[in-house]
Amino acid sequence: MAGIYIHIPFCKKACYYCNFHFSTSQNLMQQMVHAICKEAMLRNDYLRDDIATIYFGGGTPSLLTIDNLQFTMDKLYSLFKVDDDTEITLEANPDDITEEKLLQWKQAGINRLSIGVQSFFNDDLIWMNRAHNAEQAYKSILLAKQFGFENITIDLIYGTPTLSDENWMRNIEKALHLHIPHLSCYALTVEPNTALQKMIHQHKKENVDAEKQSRHFEILMQRLNEAGYEHYEISNFAKPGFRSRHNSSYWRGAHYLGLGPSAHSYNGVSRQWNISNNALYIKSINENVVPFEREELSSTQKINEYIMTSLRTMEGLSLQKIKQLHCEKTRTDILSEAEKFIHREWMKNENDFLILTEKGKLFADGIAADLFRI
């Protein structure tokens, strides 16, 4: 089974921390939608499997008019074999969620909403330069549930200078009170070339506190475990039956097609990514050329990608799969190098699967990097 990702590169405001490709000018929206649909036509032979997931990301896909959304959906259904139970996710900002849009999204086939809450406190939202306020965050979830959206995920950001331990716990409790079945929770990261990095460098904003972030992550893991959520990936928590099928396919190494500027694709042999320039993307597509770069993956790269993604999941890294991807010696070497993490109780070996403990999840990226093949 395969997935399709559609990148809608437009936002009302630029969040200070964001390093995704987007524009705050929506002048090219109509042209962009037609270009994305044309790219789908030019690349409709990229995936050989049925489509199990469709994901509208960005940017802010909730800025799409219903005509543009429906046009895109119709094009995808005409070009690909889409399963009847396909998970179709739309990322939405709270300030875009209205009764009219919710009805339209339902009619267009959207069956999962990813709502960019980030925090239920205005101090945090202002610090991030978000377009919505705390009241809109809360009411948008109630409204979505009222209009029949049961499969909802929200994003929350922790470790910001404005977020106390107490308010982080209150954010979690608010999500639990709203009976949200899926949470994606991220430590604030200061990405290169973002407004946040520049403001920190100029001493206009306080830098992140690594100890606070670790503390918030531990609070999160403990509380959501008590509430019956599966911590199925480092940043993702779900009630049983509500895992993100689309993102899970990435972590399993399934094939996917990325449409739109900056979108990535993977077919098991290579990765490719489209140009991150709206005007040049549209111009190239109009000339029947998809503007992308491609990287052929070596066996070592495939192993390292598997190590990175699998260790982030609750199922862990299969040593048997390492053997299948490469050889018995590689499997033995990785197991040997993992012993120091097992000894520290950062990792455990269960039936030939290396699985991070809660303590180990605090060091997931470093552990994975230490196990990489060179």
Distance (Å, whole) CA 34 – CA 38: 6
Q: Residue 84's pLDDT band (boundaries 50, 70, 90)?
A: very high
**Single pTM value for the model:** 0.96
197 pLDDT tier (thresholds 50, 70, 90): very high
2-56 per-position pLDDT tens digit: 999 999 999 999 999 999 999 999 999 999 999 999 999 999 999 999 999 999 9
The whole-angstrom separation of Cα 326 and Cα 323 is 5
| Residue 1 pLDDT > 90 | no
Question: What is the architecture, at CATH level 2, of domain 300-371?
Answer: Orthogonal Bundle (1.10)
2-251 and 300-371 share one fold = no
Q: Please give the pLDDT value at position 203.
A: 94
Q: What is the pLDDT of residue 287?
A: 98
- Which CATH number among 3.40.50.300, 3.40.50.720, 3.20.20.70, 1.20.1630.10 corresponds to the domain 2-251? 3.20.20.70
pLDDT for the residue numbered 325: 81
Residue 80 pLDDT greater than 90, yes or no: yes
Residue 95: predicted pLDDT: 97
Q: What is the rounded distance in angstroms from the CA atom of residue 144 to the CA atom of residue 113?
A: 8
Give the rounded percent of residues in the chain with a pLDDT score beyond 70.
100
Give me the pLDDT at residue 201, please. Answer: 94
> What's the CA gap between 206 and 235, in Å, rounded?
24
In single-letter form, the type of residue at position 339 comes to E
Amino acid at position 30, single letter: Q
CA dist 253 → 86, 141, 183, 279 (Å): 18, 32, 22, 31
Give the 3-state DSSP-derived string for the chain, with helices as H, strands as E and coil as C. Answer: CEEEEEEECECCCCCCCCCCCCECCCCCHHHHHHHHHHHHHHCCCCCCCCEEEEEEEECCHHHCCHHHHHHHHHHHHHHCCEEEEEEEEEEECHHHCCHHHHHHHHHHCCCEEEEEEECCCHHHHHHHCCCCCHHHHHHHHHHHHHCCCCCEEEEEEECCCCCCHHHHHHHHHHHHHCCCCEEEEEECCCCCCCHHHHHHHCCCCCCCCHHHHHHHHHHHHHHHHHCCCEEEECCEEECCCCCCHHHHHHHHCCCEEEECCCCEEECCCEEEEECCCHHHHHHHHHCCCCCEEEEECCHHHHHHHHHHHHHCECCCEEHHHHHHHCCHHHHHHHHHHHHHHHHCCCEEEECCEEEECHHHHCCHHHHHHHHCCC
pLDDT at 324 over 90: no
Mean per-residue pLDDT over the chain, rounded: 96
CA distance 327 to 322: 7
Give tens-digit pLDDT for 168-187.
Answer: 999 999 999 999 999 999 99
Determine the Cα–Cα distance for residues 86 and 194; give it in Å rounded to an integer.
35
pLDDT by residue (tens digit) across 259-296?
Answer: 999 999 999 999 999 999 999 999 999 999 999 999 99
Average pLDDT over residues 242-262: 96
Q: Is the pLDDT of residue 374 over 90?
A: no
Res 326 pLDDT > 90: no
Domain boundaries, the chain: 2-251, 300-371
Give the β-pairing of 256-259 and 2-8. parallel
